[in-house]
Amino acid sequence: MIFSDLQFKLNSNLKNILGKRVSDKYVIIECDDWGSQRMPSSDTFDYLTKKGLDINDGRYNLYDSLENPEDLEALFFTLKKYQGSDGSSPVFTAFTSLTNPDFIKIKMDNFNNYHYYNLDKSYDLFSNSKRMRELWRQGVSDGIFVPQLHGREHIAVQFWLKQLKKNNQDLLDGFEKGFVFVKDKTVSQTIRNFRAELYYENDQQKEFIRKKLFDAIVLFKEYFGFNATAFAATNGIFDSDFEQVLVESGVSYLASPLFPKKETGKSRYDGLIRKFGQIGASGMIYYLRNCAFEPNGPEYKGIEQTLQQVEAAFRWDKPAVISTHRVNFVGGLSVKNRESGLNELKKLLSAILITWPDVKFTTVELLCKKESIGS
Ligand SMILES: [Zn+2]
């Protein structure tokens, strides 16, 4: 066995040692980035690339686009093929951003303020909001596609507007085509492509973000008809000072890294180690995503690594919480991308069910309630 394999196995085990134990083998799939428009079309990608803009970020700008009805139908069809030992199908917890930029209004406002479209309007611009509403409702009622909160928009709005206001020509070229995430080397590395929504550098920016989070919670309830109960921060950038606004609004579960960092003006590690089921001073219940599945990612070599991580979770009586992203399963820019992502998902789910026939699929919220974690 080569050293990197050994290191991988060791890491997979180490992160599961601490924390609450659960009584059964649970698999939870958490998928980020729903709701946000990344690359509006392949033509836009080609146009901006030809213009020489720095938009090459591997798979995301090539394949990640707002989900459409065909994406959800194909995903649901795949998930429903499988059942755990209690008869329940695998469930995607879909961490969702609720808005996208209203480029026309932002321009009319001379880049002074951010203006947004809600999800209905976002879907109407690219597909069909009525059908999308039906599908979201169906996913929830079938228990296979359950939304949770990723944020108001997947954009570091304040920094993006500031750079637009400075007449950054590359950003303006992207803007004209409805694309935000052009790399800008003059801003902090953490928000170089303006994806980390909760990043801030001063108190005024922090206050703006607090308000954004509050809006996100309200918009979530407006669209889905119920409260978000779990939160995963965009690009993993989070400050525990934001926990209060989430907890007060009914969010009880926070996806956290093993070693949380406070990424504000200066990134710093505050010496904490997070573990599954731990409760913070705010009352927030933390959990770790201890497995990863990124079938169109550059490092992907098949389902084996994910299976090893699931095995490590079960060895320490932890739920296997599999982290993944929408980019693996959508076909708006490439139908082939969706097909190959879903094929890998089928392989993974089949292998899990063959290896651990007693496995159950669930969500963090249902699991914590069942196991009385946090109560
Ligand atoms: Zn994200």
Cα of 2 from ligand 1 centre, angstroms: 32
Cα of 244 from ligand 1 centre, angstroms: 21
Cα of 192 from ligand 1 centre, angstroms: 14
- 231-280, pLDDT tens digit by residue? 999 998 999 899 999 999 999 999 988 888 766 655 555 667 888 999 99
Cα of 355 from ligand 1 centre, angstroms: 30
Residues facing residue 148 across a β-bridge: 95
Kindly state whether residue 68 falls inside one of the protein's structural domains: yes
Kindly state whether residue 51 falls inside one of the protein's structural domains: no
What does the pLDDT read at residue 149? 98
Those residues of the chain that have pLDDT short of 70 are 1-3, 262-271, 375
Cα of 254 from ligand 1 centre, angstroms: 14
What does the pLDDT read at residue 9? 87
What does the pLDDT read at residue 311? 96
Cα of 154 from ligand 1 centre, angstroms: 7
What does the pLDDT read at residue 261? 72
What does the pLDDT read at residue 338? 98
Distance CA 345, CA 351 (A): 10
Cα of 32 from ligand 1 centre, angstroms: 5
Kindly state whether residue 310 falls inside one of the protein's structural domains: yes
**Predicted TM-score (pTM) of this structure:** 0.96
Distance CA 184, CA 98 (A): 25
Q: Name the token pair of 336.
A: 């082939």
Report the candidate in 176, 48, 165, 79 with the shortest Cα–Cα distance to residue 114.
165
Cα of 52 from ligand 1 centre, angstroms: 25
Kindly state whether residue 11 falls inside one of the protein's structural domains: no
Cα of 354 from ligand 1 centre, angstroms: 31
Say which residues have a Cβ less than 8 Å from residue 102's Cβ, sequence separation at least 6. 115, 116, 117
What does the pLDDT read at residue 371? 92
Total domain count, the chain:
1
Cα of 87 from ligand 1 centre, angstroms: 30
Cα of 249 from ligand 1 centre, angstroms: 21
Cα of 81 from ligand 1 centre, angstroms: 27
Cα of 235 from ligand 1 centre, angstroms: 5
Q: Name the token pair of 216.
A: 């996100």
Report the candidate in 346, 296, 341, 329 with the shortest Cα–Cα distance to residue 66.
329
CA distances from 128 to 123, 125, 212 (A): 6, 8, 26
Which domain does 216 fall in, by range? 64-150+202-370
Cα of 195 from ligand 1 centre, angstroms: 8
Report the candidate in 105, 100, 110, 234 with the shortest Cα–Cα distance to residue 180.
100
Cα of 65 from ligand 1 centre, angstroms: 12
What does the pLDDT read at residue 257? 83
What does the pLDDT read at residue 56? 83
Kindly state whether residue 48 falls inside one of the protein's structural domains: no
Q: Name the token pair of 181.
A: 């995430």
Report the candidate in 323, 345, 326 with the shortest Cα–Cα distance to residue 37.
326
What does the pLDDT read at residue 2? 67
Cα of 130 from ligand 1 centre, angstroms: 25
What does the pLDDT read at residue 6? 86
Cα of 197 from ligand 1 centre, angstroms: 9
Distance CA 14, CA 100 (A): 39
Kindly state whether residue 177 falls inside one of the protein's structural domains: no
Cα of 312 from ligand 1 centre, angstroms: 25
CA distances from 141 to 114, 146, 301 (A): 34, 9, 34
- 354-365, pLDDT tens digit by residue? 999 999 999 999
CATH number of the domain residue 110 falls in: 3.20.20
What does the pLDDT read at residue 4? 82
What does the pLDDT read at residue 243? 94
What does the pLDDT read at residue 270? 60
Cα of 357 from ligand 1 centre, angstroms: 32
